[in-house]
Amino acid sequence: MGDFPAHLVQAPVRPPPARAKAAVIGLVTLTMCLFLAGATPRPPLTSAAFAIPGMQALGAPPAGPSWAPAPRLGRGLASVATARGRTFALHTASGDMTFLPGVNLGSTTPGHQPGELSISAGQYRTWFAAMGWLGIRVLRIYTIHPPAFYQELARYNRGNPDRPLYLMQGVYPPDESYAEKGDLYDRGVTTAFREEIRDASAAVRGRLTRDPRPGRAAGTWDTDVTPWLAGWIVGLEVDPSGGHRSDLRNRDAPPVRGRYFRSTAQASPTERWLAARMDELAAYEAAQGLSQPIAFVNWPTTDPLRHPEEPLDTEDLLQIDANHVLPTAQWPAGTFASYHAYPYYPDFQRHEPALQRYHYNGRADPYAGYLAALRRHHRDMPTVITEFGVPSSIGSAHNGPLGRSQGDHSEREAMRIDAELLRLIKDQGLSGGFVFGWVDEWFKFTWNTIEHQVAERRQLWHDPLTNEQHFGLIAMDAAGSPDAAAEYLLDDESAWPARRVTARVDESFVQLRIRLGTPAPNALTVGFDVLPALTGPPAPGTGNREADAAFVLDPIARTGQAYLRSRLDPMPLDYAVPLGRRGPAPEGWRRFELIVNRDLRVPTTGERLPAEIQNAGLLRYGTPDEDSRNLWYRDGDDLVVRVPWAMLGYADPSRHTVGVPGKGLTTQVSPGIGVSVSASGTDQTAGHVTWTNWNRVYYAERLKAGAGQFRDAAFEVTAS
């Protein structure tokens, strides 16, 4: 793929000048921007997108107006974009573009933690071309990326002057200890963030050198991407408890009356702190004759609205309001309200009467109602949804209205919902929507599987049950070691119910191919023994007391269910659900299930809501091409079965580690997997699956099925 393998591994800033000097700098900057925008085009780089399988099948994107930057000058500062009133205007050669379809890009690849910043120059090159092919106009990053990011972004934009990728640069606080300390104003927290702001401003101009340090990009930044810098989003989703304690501790924090940003009289201490950081960033940019819209990260948990129906106190504990952090007349690019807002959480979307009554596209739609409420609140500034989307995972973490849940979507369904949400965001009068995210991220965790896994090695395998690992437009499919051959567990033409069984493992699945005997069984159970010392009641549909996990399959009805021995059932690590509310299972066994909502109470009505459970072990029949959640299907005389590691009880398959719930997660080393096949009272031992522990992962990139729906929406929302 491109020129990279399929697997993996400050300049001083001047103080703000006088207005006359700033005007000169601004005019020079404007001239340079126009020159870059109108430079002689290089050969289009869109062909690089075809390195990702599935991209070329979409066909060429529709022709449209030029998005080449056409900066404007105000107060002596050049601006590629401005945020005034409710309009976020990206200034282009074709006029102002007032709705921005975007995507969020993380900083790492499979096998790595985010602080390792492992994306290669070749991947950036391929991804930027693919983003353009999908109609994405703005790329948002959360932190400073390595120099290759900025080099490749400039290379792509110069090669595609009429369809550049604009950058929304994030600044992430290096020190997040404020939540534990309950103090945003802590000297270490504030100093670290100030330094990161300084470095980010230098990085986008190509004037930064940083030595290696854990968790941050290092090297020499020598490429100026400010001709395409559409704005800034600083900070992180504020922890409500930590932010609330910080506000109480810092009641007397002085108001901010900066040259470029100020806090209003109503501003909380948290808002004042954010205003000070935004003013510092603006000062660095103004010193270079530039001005871009600057916002801070916010999310529904700390939005400025009140949600009395919200069952969880912490989800309505702290209000942070962009209306209380405003630009001065010296900052022409303005500000906007930025929200990470998803259609499934928090729960007030399911209980707030006004949201339940809100209609969009012919039906009640609480998510549309919530976005409309945000827009109404921010009546004097643009609102941008800078994270939205649903994951294409087997596992879910929360049920959402209208089926927009936090998981349990096929790839096609997830892409359809993402496209629907992008159109919805535009129709509610907001200024942009940035889908989360570009690629699937293996290191991610979620609340209802985190306790089942060995945290420090989570990035080394890809769990279909952890929804957070499957938000991407681009799938990062586990490929397994190229040196690992399929194992023959059984090869006997006279055997029944299976004549031949082969197995292969990768970072997501144990994959079995079972040649069925004659006659083919109408129902069968595939058993898996992961801990030989653990025995008990036989697996469902068998007399086999050795198996610790079982797939019970009915090829006629095309139904299936995954079970785990109750000793390995992970749900007690998350929540104590009475057995009477769990799905049916034989004695000593449990259906593989995930808790997706605990017992709750709606404060305003007193209604008690029972815990909600997903039958994540419901085994869908069909090929993965038909539905990415499918785990078994017939292929001629063969039965093909994909078994997620978590359904076998593994907490870290890269080290043969099985999770054994107790007071917390304990682990035992598995010698491998004993496989058996049972039907009509016959229990047949197939053999033993073994593999070598791994510290290096292999994966393949692929455009997700149905992503053309998102592309259609991306072009549609900018066509009108």
Whole-angstrom CA distances from 211 to 116, 120, 279, 483 are 14, 19, 27, 37
Which pLDDT band holds residue 484 (cuts at 50, 70, 90)?
A: confident
In this model, does residue 34 exceed pLDDT 70? no
Query: CB–CB of 232/170 below 8 Å?
Result: yes
Query: CB–CB of 398/344 below 8 Å?
Result: yes
The token pair that represents 564 in the structure block: 């785990």
Report the pLDDT value the prediction gives residue 44, as an integer from 0 to 100. 52
Mean per-residue pLDDT, 539-562: 96
Helix H, strand E, coil C: the string for 645-672 is: HHHHCEEEHHHCEEEEECCCEEEEECCC
Report the pLDDT value the prediction gives residue 536, as an integer from 0 to 100. 96
Report the pLDDT value the prediction gives residue 410, as an integer from 0 to 100. 98
Strands 600-601 vs 138-141: parallel, antiparallel or unpaired: unpaired
Output phi, psi for 616, to 5 deg. Answer: -70, -15
Mean per-residue pLDDT, 261-286: 98
Q: What is the pLDDT of residues 393-415, one digit of tens each?
A: 999 999 999 999 999 999 999 99
Which pLDDT band holds residue 110 (cuts at 50, 70, 90)?
A: very high
Residue 581, classed as helix, strand or coil, is: helix
Distance CA 374, CA 303 (A): 9
In this model, does residue 699 exceed pLDDT 50? yes
SS3 content of the chain, % helix, strand, coil (to 5): 30, 25, 45
- Mean pLDDT, the chain, whole residue set: 93
Distance CA 603, CA 460 (A): 42
In this model, does residue 130 exceed pLDDT 50? yes
Mean per-residue pLDDT, 470-484: 96
DSSP string, 344-386: TBSTHHHH-HHHHH-EETTEE-HHHHHHHHHHHHTTTS-EEEE
Angle between helices 147-159 and 121-133 (to 10 degrees): 40
Surface-to-core class of residue 516, CB atoms within 10 Å of its CB (0-12 exposed, 13-18 middle, 19+ buried)? buried
In this model, does residue 58 exceed pLDDT 80? yes
DSSP-assigned beta bridge partners for residue 213:
216
415-346-241 Cα angle (round to 5): 130
Torsion sign across C-alpha atoms 400, 403, 409, 414:
negative
In this model, does residue 10 exceed pLDDT 80? no
Distance CA 391, CA 407 (A): 5
Neighbour order of strands in the sheet with 549-554: 589-591, 559-565, 549-554, 524-529, 673-679, 682-689
Residue 537, classed as helix, strand or coil, is: coil
